[in-house]
Amino acid sequence: HVLAVREKDIKDVVDENDVKPKETEIAAYRTWRKKDSDARYYIASTIDKRFTKHILHCKTSMEMWEKICNIFERKSAAQVTMLQKKLHNLKLGSNEKVSDYVAQARNLAAQLESAGDKGVSDDMLQTIIIEGLPSVKYSGFLFGWNSKPKTDKTLLNLETELMAAEELISTQDEEITAMTASATHKGKAQKKLIEKDNKKRFEGQCFYCKKVGHRKFECTKFKNEKVKGETKKSGTYSKNTKTKRTDKEEDETEDAVFLARAHATEASIVEDEQMWLADSGASYHIAHDISIFENMKKAEMSHIKLGDKSRVPVIGKGDVRIKALVNDKWKTCRLTNVLCMPDLRTNLFSFSQCTDHGYKIESGKSDMKVTKNGKVYATAKRRKSLYVMEFKNMIVAEANAAEQKINKL
């Protein structure tokens, strides 16, 4: 209406720049009244019919104009409040595409700007988008994003990396679904056949008794000693007193650690028992070979609960020295507070343990890096939907012989 009023050359009458003359000034008053009449007619004939009732009682074009401005200012303020609420409550839906989610956030921010709210900066929009993500499902992405330097945290980079994370998560979900369906179909009988076949084919050495022809979790000696409450530690045995656990202790134990997708999908890529899988959902580093542990002591929990609701025993915790491949060279590192869980098939590398020690996780489409102050301390390669750490286990004797500087992860 502002442009239209200017085009009709009646803005001065509306804004009262053309002051209403006294009625005694007959010629001037007639001229002004003609302009005011034209302005009132033009406003009444062009305004949306929904607002006509609000201006019928107005005596001059200026009164009509002020009334219209007040109505639209109130409407604009209400619209801004509504848009702000929608933007800050925005969440990524369970079946919603990331591209649609980000587009919706951008659209709401653009509408706010059009309504006169200039307060939605790119940084604020990024924060709103991130806060609307499911925290568990996108935990791996959040670790990587929070580790990035501020200069890399742009709205475009956020959208690009979110779409890559969405693709990775979708692949993981498909693999878990396929594995679950396959396991249900095959049943217990098929599982026994597979285990029997695996025993026939395995020709390596047991990590526990050092005999050839079976794995540690198949070892009769290990199983018997575990039943008796004995565990092998650096060539000696330590007896664990069995105590009855209360319901409270049971709950605390089950909630102590939660492993995300790595354990559920590991069966499809595990090649040997020394493999370490990166897991954004693990609260602790976890290893299954007791012979690589140093400073073994009793853990705070006796079992942990996996993502598939199964409970796996913890026989202790300690430090583990490994060799990490960095820039084509093997560097000795120490993983601290590692849980010993012989029943797991592979080892799990915890993102949260790294970030607690000041390290950053930088993940890409094909690899991942663990860095601190710009220096790389460990790397991983993507294999299917998971990242496999480029680690080598060191048995205690080998670790004690190593004299190079050790990094703690």
pLDDT in tens, 61-111: 788 888 877 777 666 677 788 888 888 899 998 889 999 999 999 998 888
* Nearest to 14, CA basis, from 57, 53, 54, 68: 68
* Nearest to 145, CA basis, from 135, 153, 137: 153
The backbone torsions φ and ψ at residue 328, rounded to the nearest 5 degrees and listed phi first, read: 65, 15
In a domain, 70, yes or no: yes
Say whether pLDDT at 409 is over 60.
yes
Q: Which amino acid is at 132?
A: G
Predicted local distance difference test score (pLDDT) of residue 402: 52
In a domain, 39, yes or no: yes
Predicted local distance difference test score (pLDDT) of residue 100: 92
In a domain, 385, yes or no: yes
Do residues 377 and 323 both lie within one domain?
yes
Do residues 14 and 129 both lie within one domain?
no
Do residues 281 and 403 both lie within one domain?
yes
pTM of the model: 0.41
Q: Which letter, b or e, does each residue of 347-370 get, where b requires 16 or more Cβ atoms within 10 Å of its Cβ? A: bbbbbbbbeeeebbbbbeeeebbb
Say whether pLDDT at 377 is over 50.
yes
In a domain, 253, yes or no: no
Predicted local distance difference test score (pLDDT) of residue 92: 92
Do residues 29 and 122 both lie within one domain?
no
Predicted local distance difference test score (pLDDT) of residue 11: 58
Percent of the chain with pLDDT over 70: 70
In a domain, 199, yes or no: no
Dihedral of CA 142/143/147/152: which sign? Answer: negative
| Unique residue bearing structure tokens 């019928």 | 56
Query: What's the pLDDT tens digit per position in 30-60?
Result: 888 888 888 888 888 877 777 788 888 888 8
The most confident of the ranges 155-159, 230-234, 281-285, 393-397 is 155-159
Predicted local distance difference test score (pLDDT) of residue 120: 84
44 token code pair: 């009444």
Across the chain, which distance is largest between two alpha carbons, in Å?
121
In a domain, 173, yes or no: no
Q: Which domain holds residue 122?
A: 92-168
When mean pLDDT is compared across 190-199, 307-316, 322-331, 357-366, the lowest value belongs to 190-199
- SS3 of residue 23 by DSSP: coil
Last residue of a domain, one of 134, 168, 202: 168
In a domain, 12, yes or no: yes
Do residues 59 and 124 both lie within one domain?
no
Do residues 39 and 159 both lie within one domain?
no
Do residues 341 and 287 both lie within one domain?
yes
Last residue of a domain, one of 108, 135, 168: 168
* Arithmetic mean of pLDDT, 236-247: 40
Q: How many CB atoms lie within 10 A of CB 148?
A: 15
When mean pLDDT is compared across 17-31, 139-153, 361-375, the lowest value belongs to 17-31
Q: What is the mean pLDDT of the chain?
A: 74
* Arithmetic mean of pLDDT, 164-186: 60
Q: CA 143, CA 326: separation in Å to the nearest integer?
A: 21
Last residue of a domain, one of 168, 190, 215: 168
Do residues 310 and 390 both lie within one domain?
yes
Do residues 316 and 385 both lie within one domain?
yes
Q: CA 278, CA 380: separation in Å to the nearest integer?
A: 8
Helix (H) or strand (E) holding 337: strand 329-340
In a domain, 85, yes or no: no
Q: How many domains does the chain have?
A: 3
Say whether pLDDT at 23 is over 60.
yes
Pairing type for strands 230-233 and 316-326 reads unpaired
Predicted local distance difference test score (pLDDT) of residue 401: 52
Do residues 296 and 350 both lie within one domain?
yes
Do residues 19 and 114 both lie within one domain?
no
Do residues 348 and 374 both lie within one domain?
yes
**Residue 358: alpha-carbon gap to chain centroid:** 18
Q: Tell which wins on pLDDT, 259 or 200.
A: 200
Give the domain CATH number at 344. 2.40.70
